[in-house]
Structure 1
C-alpha cells in the first residue's frame, strides 16, 4: 500500500506534470470505485488544473471549485503516460479503474488508476472541497504539520490503551502512516509493536517522535522527483525490517521475525525491539501453548 512518502511523491509529480493543463477526458471504468454523485465526475472535463495536493494517503487534483480525489488503497497505483490512448475502455475489464487525459502547453498526457488483485478498495471522488471526502475529514494530524510536535504525540499516546503498532496506522490518529512505515518507525525507535501506547515514558515518546520524522523524512526525500514507475522500488530498497522476514537485521544481525494476522503481517527484530523475545505468530500460536 502506498503511504505518506509515496503518495507525496505521486502528488508532487502530478502537480509538476498537470498544473495549468485542461482535463479533456475522464473515464470511470469501474463504477464501484466512484463514491460520489454530486457534482457529476463529468463536470471536471474542460476545467483547468490549479494544483495537486496530498491529504494523508489521499491525492486531490484541484480544478478551482471541483476536485478529483482518489485513494489508492492496498493494491492501487498510477500508470502515467505522455501518449494517452484515444479509444474508450470497456467497463469492468482489466485492472484499470479510471483514465484521465489532460492537455497542456506541451501536448496531451494522462494516467490510469489501476488496481491489482480481486479485492477492490480503490476509491475516487468528485467533490467541491476535498474535506467533503469522509476519509479526509476524519484524518488526524499530518506528521509534518506544525501542530504535530512531541507534546501533541505525547498527548495522543497518553490517552490510548491501543498497541502502538495499531495506533500509528490509525488514520484518524496520525495521517499517512501505514503497515510498512509503522514497522520501520518502531524498529528505528527500538519499540515493540505490541507496546501499549500510554505505557511509553516521556523519553521513549521523544525517541518515537524523532523516529517518525527520520524514517518518513528520509523516505520523502528519496521519493521526491521520482516518476510513479520508480517509487515502489525506491520504497522497497530502504526497508530494514518490513517485508524482510528471515533476513538479518541490518542493525544487530538478529533474524527479522513476523507476526501474521488475517489479512496483514508485521515484521520486527527481537534483539532491537522486544529484548530478544519472539512474539507469537497468530498463524501458529495455537501450536505454542
Structure 2
C-alpha cells in the first residue's frame, strides 16, 4: 500500500501535471469504487483542477467551482474535492492521451478513468487496482470532513506542529507500538512498511507497549519516525508514478527482507506473520537477540 512518502510524491507529480487543466471526461468503470452519489461525478466535467494534494494516505484533487477559477470561493460555494484512497493494490497510471470508456485487456482492472486538457497538453489518468479485493475508493465531496475516515485521521507526522511533546502524548496507550504507528486515527500516513523501518531505526521491538516507553526510547522513536519519513519523501519527490513502487522496495532495510542480512549488524532479518499481513525485524537491533513468536501461540516480547 502506498504510504505518506509515495502519496506525497504522487500528489506532487499530479499537481505539476494537472494544475490549471480542465476535466474533459470522467468514466466510472467500477461503480463499487465510487462511494458517493451527490454531487454526481458528471459535475466534474468542464471544471478546472486547482491543485492535487494529500491528507494521510489519501490523494485530494481540488476542483474549481463551475465556470470559474475558484479564486476567492470557499469550500461550500461550488468547489469539489475528489478524494482517492488507493488501498492495498491501487495505483495511478498517467497517459499522454485522453482515455476512452472501454479498456484493453490486461492484468488487474481500472476503477475510474479521467481525461484532462491544459492548453495543447492532454493527460489521461487511470485509477487501477491489482488483485480481486477491489478496495480502491473514490469520493466526490465538498469538504474533506465529508469523507468519514478523513474526519477521523490523526495528525500529520511531518508537520511542524507534530512536536516531540505532541508525539509523547499519543503514546499513553496499552497498545503495541507497531499497531499504534499504523493506526490512522492516531498518526496519519504510516503503514506496514514504514512502521517496520521506523522501529528498526529506533531499535525497538514491534511488540513493545507504547505506554511503557521511557523518555530515551520515546525520543529515539520520534527521531526515527521523522527521519525515515523525511528521507523517503525526499527520495520519492520528482519520480514518476511508475518508478515509485520500485524505489520504495529498494530503500527498505528490513521490510520484506526476511532471510537477508541486517544492513546494520548482519543478523538475519526475521518475520512474524498474521492472518493478512506480516512484519519484519532484526533480533539483534530490536529485541536483544530474542526471536518474536507468533501471536496466536506465544506471549509477546516487550
TM-score w.r.t. the length of structure 2 is 0.91
Matched with 2:71 is none
Matched with 1:84 is 98
Q: Counterpart of 1:279 in 2: which secondary structure?
A: coil
Could you give the per-residue CA deviations for residues 60-81 of structure 1, whole angstroms, max 9, x where no partner exists? 1101200111000000001111
Give the 5 Å matches for 1:52-201.
52-64=52-64, 65-89=79-103, 95-157=109-171, 159-201=172-214
- In the aligned structure 1, how far is the partner of 2:10 from the partner of 2:149? 19
Could you give the per-residue CA deviations for residues 25-56 of structure 1, whole angstroms, max 9, x where no partner exists? 11111111111111111111110000011000
Give the 5 Å matches for 1:6-25.
6-25=6-25
> Contact 1:99–1:110 at 8 Å: present in 2 too?
yes
- In the aligned structure 1, how far is the partner of 2:52 from the partner of 2:118? 15
Change (3 A) 1:197 1:283: closer
- In the aligned structure 2, how far is the partner of 1:94 from the partner of 1:266? 26
Quote the RMSD (CA, aligned, Å).
1.6
> Contact 1:260–1:283 at 8 Å: present in 2 too?
no
Change (3 A) 1:89 1:130: farther
Matched with 1:266 is 279
Q: How many residues align?
A: 283
- In the aligned structure 2, how far is the partner of 1:57 from the partner of 1:267? 22
Following superposition, the deviation at residue 282 of structure 1 comes to: 4.8
Following superposition, the deviation at residue 173 of structure 1 comes to: 0.2
Change (3 A) 1:283 1:106: farther
- In the aligned structure 1, how far is the partner of 2:295 from the partner of 2:213? 25
- In the aligned structure 2, how far is the partner of 1:84 from the partner of 1:48? 16
TM-score w.r.t. the length of structure 1 is 0.95
- In the aligned structure 2, how far is the partner of 1:81 from the partner of 1:284? 49
Report the more deviating stretch, 99-108 or 211-220: 99-108
Unaligned segments of structure 1, at least 5 residues: none
Q: Counterpart of 1:249 in 2: which secondary structure?
A: coil
- In the aligned structure 2, how far is the partner of 1:283 from the partner of 1:29? 40
- In the aligned structure 2, how far is the partner of 1:170 from the partner of 1:2? 15
- In the aligned structure 2, how far is the partner of 1:178 from the partner of 1:110? 29
> Contact 1:79–1:229 at 8 Å: present in 2 too?
yes
2:267 is the counterpart of 1:254: yes
> Contact 1:96–1:114 at 8 Å: present in 2 too?
yes
- In the aligned structure 2, how far is the partner of 1:238 from the partner of 1:19? 30
